[in-house]
Structure 1
Amino acid sequence: MSKVVISTSSFDIHNNPFIQRMIKAGVAVITNPHKRKLSEEEIIALLNEDTVGLLAGIEPLTERVFASAHSLKVISRCGTGLDSVDLAAAKRHNIAVSNTPEAPAQAVAELTLGLMLTTLRQISQTDRMLRSGEWPRMQGHLLAAQSVGIIGMGHIGRRVARLCQAFEATVIAHDPFLQQTLQDVTLMPLEQLLTEADIISLHLPYSADTHHLLNENAFSRMKTGAIVINAARGGLVDEIALYDALASGHLGGAALDVFEQEPYHGPLLKCDNITLTSHIGSLAKESRHRMEIEAADNLLRELVNIGLMDEK
C-alpha cells in the first residue's frame, strides 16, 4: 500500500476531495502527530522508507532527509516558499517538487497591510497601555502620506502595492527581475529605495543571496523614523541589527511575522515599537482552504503522472 505524509501542523483532510480520493484508492495518509513545525529528525522518522508522497510544510527537507526516504517521489509544498527544500538534492533523488504560490498571496498581502496600519497608528502599543490602566492619546501617521517601498513584486508584492494605492500611498519598488511593473509604481535600485521609502516591506524569497538583505548597513541608509515590515521570510532581516536600529530610535517601528528561528525568543520581544506575529501570514480560513486544495491536487496529479495512482 502506498503511503502519503502530510507534515503541515494542521490540515483538513476530511473536506479535501483530492485527499479523500487517495484514501478511497487505498493510500495510507499520515498526518503530523506533533501539530507544529517538524525538525529534520522528526520528518525523517515520519517519512520512513515507504512514503511515496509528501504534502510539505516548512520543515527542513535536506539531502539527509531524501537519502533516508527511499520511496519518496513527490513533494507538494502547501504554501509559496521553497527555501526549506534542498531543490538540488531533490533533483538528484528524482523527486518532483511543486508549490502553491497564488493561494496564500491575498492573505499575506492583507496581513502586511494590517501590520503597516498597526505600526503607523501604534495600535498594539495603545492596546497594551490601555490594559495597564493608562489612557494614551498618541498621534500616528496616515498611510496615504507615506512612500511605501516594496522589495519583490511577485504574487504578494503586487497585491500589497494595489492595497497601498487604494489608500492613496505612493508606491516605489525594487525587483531585479522586472523591467516594468504595475501602473504608478516606480521601479528603482535597492539603494535608492532604502533612502526614499517611509515604509519598507519585504516580499521576496529567501536564499543565500538574500540572507540578511536588511542588515546594519541597510538600516543606516533608511530615513530616520522609517518602518520595516517583514511577512516574507525571517532570514531576510538581521534581527540583532533591527533591534539596535529600533532601540536607538533610528527606525520608527517595525512589524515581523517571520523569524530566523521559530518560535521566536529573541531580543525584539523587549522592544515597544515593534509588532510581532507568529508566522500567521497564510492563516486566513479562505486562503488556507484554497492552499490545501491546490497542494493536494498537485500531489495527486504528480502521483498519477508517475503511475503511482490511477487517473480515476
Structure 2
Amino acid sequence: MKVLISSRSFGKIDSEPIDMLNNAGFEVTVNPYDRKLTERELVEMIGDSVGLIAGTEEITEEFLKNAKSLKVISRYGVGMDNIDQDVATKLGIKVCNTPNAPSKAVAELTLSMILNILRRIPESSSLMNDGRWLPQMGRSLYGKKLGVVGLGRIGKEMVQLVKPFNLTILAYEIYPDNDFITSYGIRLVSLEELLSQSDIISIHLPLMKETYNLIGEKEISLMKDTSILINTARGGLVDEGALANALMNGTIAGAGIDVFTEEPYSGDLLGLDNVLLTPHIGTFTEETRKKMEIETVDNLIKSLREIK
C-alpha cells in the first residue's frame, strides 16, 4: 500500500516517522519540492495511495475526487480549514489531525512575542547592530490585563504559562470549561468587552466561516491605543489590511503575527516598526515537530487498520 507525504517539512528533522511507515509495510512517496504543492501536483502524485499525510496545502474537492484509492488523510498539524471535509466525508475518507502536540510550542511563541513587543527587543537589537546605543523605553508584562480569545488547548496552555506574571485574565469562549475558568480565576466576557478592556489580546481559535475576519476594523477600533494584538492561531482570523491601517494610524500600539491569509505573506504589514512578523513558526521546534510527526503517522496507521 502507498502513502503520499505532501507536507514539505515532514521527516526532515528525524527519519523515525518515515521509518515507522516503511516498517509498517507502506511504500512512501515524499514531496520532492521545497514548497507547498499545488492542486495539480497533488492530483498527479496521489496515484493509488491509500493514505495522505497533509500539511497546509489545499485539499480540494477536485483533488479528493481524483484520489480514487484514498482512505485516510492524516493532517500534520491542528487546523483543518485547508481540507474540504464535507467532500471527504461524502467520499468515505477519514480525516484526523494532531491537536495535542503543538500546544506548548504555540503558547511559548505567543508569550515570546508579547515580551518582545512590550520590551521593544527587536528595535533595540536592530539599533545595536547598526552601531547605535539608544535604549528603548518598554513596558512590563507583570500585572497587565490579558484577553484570551478562545480557551481550547492552546488558549488554556497560554493561561497556565503566564500565571507567574500576575495577570488579570479575560476570556471569550463559546463552549467554556467552567472548572478551568474557576481554577485560574478567569473572567468570561463578550468579545467586545475583552477587546476594549485588555492590554494584550491573544487569539487562539480555529478558522471557520464564523471566525473569518473575526477581528476587523470595527473590532480593532474597540481596542486601547496602548494595546497589542497577537495572532499565532490561523491566518484569516484577523483582517490584515485593517490591522495594518490601525498600526500605521496608532489606533493600537503593536501586533505580533505568525499566521497569514496567504503564505508566504507579502502584504501591508511588512516594514511597519510596530509589528513583529514570523513565518508561521508556531510549532517549529525540533521537539514539537518530531512529536507531531510521530502522532501523525500513528493516526494514519491506526485509522487504516480500523478501516480494514
TM-score class normalised by the smaller sequence: over 0.9
| 1:14 Cα offset (Å) | 9.2
- Provide Cα deviations, 1:270-298, integer angstroms capped at 9, x if missing partner: 21000000000001111111100111000
Query: In the alignment, residue 7 of structure 1 is paired with which amino acid?
Result: S
Moved segments of 4+, more than 6 Å: none
Count of matched residue positions in the alignment of Structure 1 and Structure 2: 305
After superposition, residues 53-132 of structure 1 pair within 5 angstroms as 53-132=51-130
After superposition, residues 22-61 of structure 1 pair within 5 angstroms as 22-48=21-47, 50-61=48-59
Give the equivalent residue in structure 1 for 2:272: 271
Q: Report the 3-state secondary structure (helix = DSSP H, G, I; strand = E; otherwise coil) of the residue aligned with 1:270.
A: coil
The answer for unaligned runs of 5 or more in structure 1 is 308-312
After superposition, residues 259-298 of structure 1 pair within 5 angstroms as 259-298=260-299
Matched, 1:137 2:135: yes
Query: In the alignment, residue 142 of structure 2 is paired with which amino acid?
Result: A
After superposition, the CA RMSD in angstroms is 1.5
Give the equivalent residue in structure 1 for 2:10: 11
Task: Work out whether residues 16 and 293 of structure 1, in 8 Å CA contact, stay in contact via their aligned partners in 2.
Answer: no
- Provide Cα deviations, 1:72-104, integer angstroms capped at 9, x if missing partner: 100111111111111111101100011110101
Distance 2:177 2:259 in 1: 29
Q: Report the 3-state secondary structure (helix = DSSP H, G, I; strand = E; otherwise coil) of the residue aligned with 2:202.
A: strand
- Provide Cα deviations, 1:153-198, integer angstroms capped at 9, x if missing partner: 0110001111122222221110111162332111111111011111
Gap change, CA 1:306 and 1:157, over 3 Å in 2: same
Q: Report the 3-state secondary structure (helix = DSSP H, G, I; strand = E; otherwise coil) of the residue aligned with 1:229.
A: strand
| 1:305 Cα offset (Å) | 1.3
| 1:11 Cα offset (Å) | 2.0
Query: Structure 2 length normalisation: TM-score?
Result: 0.95
Task: Work out whether residues 16 and 292 of structure 1, in 8 Å CA contact, stay in contact via their aligned partners in 2.
Answer: no
Gap change, CA 1:122 and 1:14, over 3 Å in 2: closer
Task: Work out whether residues 125 and 273 of structure 1, in 8 Å CA contact, stay in contact via their aligned partners in 2.
Answer: no
| 1:133 Cα offset (Å) | 2.5
Distance 1:51 1:179 in 2: 40
The more displaced of 138-147 and 87-96 is 138-147
Task: Work out whether residues 20 and 297 of structure 2, in 8 Å CA contact, stay in contact via their aligned partners in 1.
Answer: no
Query: In the alignment, residue 145 of structure 2 is paired with which amino acid?
Result: S
| 1:21 Cα offset (Å) | 4.2
Distance 2:255 2:296 in 1: 32
Distance 1:75 1:16 in 2: 20
Gap change, CA 1:89 and 1:95, over 3 Å in 2: same
Counting aligned pairs with the same residue, the percent is 44
Give the equivalent residue in structure 2 for 1:244: 245
Gap change, CA 1:24 and 1:162, over 3 Å in 2: closer
1:178 to 176, 179, 182: 176
Distance 1:52 1:148 in 2: 45
Query: In the alignment, residue 114 of structure 2 is paired with which amino acid?
Result: M
Distance 1:141 1:117 in 2: 9
| 1:132 Cα offset (Å) | 2.1
The answer for unaligned runs of 5 or more in structure 2 is none
| 1:304 Cα offset (Å) | 1.1
Query: In the alignment, residue 90 of structure 2 is paired with which amino acid?
Result: R
Task: Work out whether residues 143 and 165 of structure 2, in 8 Å CA contact, stay in contact via their aligned partners in 1.
Answer: no
Task: Work out whether residues 21 and 297 of structure 2, in 8 Å CA contact, stay in contact via their aligned partners in 1.
Answer: no
| 1:24 Cα offset (Å) | 3.5
- Provide Cα deviations, 1:39-88, integer angstroms capped at 9, x if missing partner: 2222222213x111001101111111101111110011111111111111
| 1:265 Cα offset (Å) | 0.9
Q: Report the 3-state secondary structure (helix = DSSP H, G, I; strand = E; otherwise coil) of the residue aligned with 1:265.
A: coil
Query: In the alignment, residue 41 of structure 1 is paired with which amino acid?
Result: R
Q: Report the 3-state secondary structure (helix = DSSP H, G, I; strand = E; otherwise coil) of the residue aligned with 2:162.
A: helix
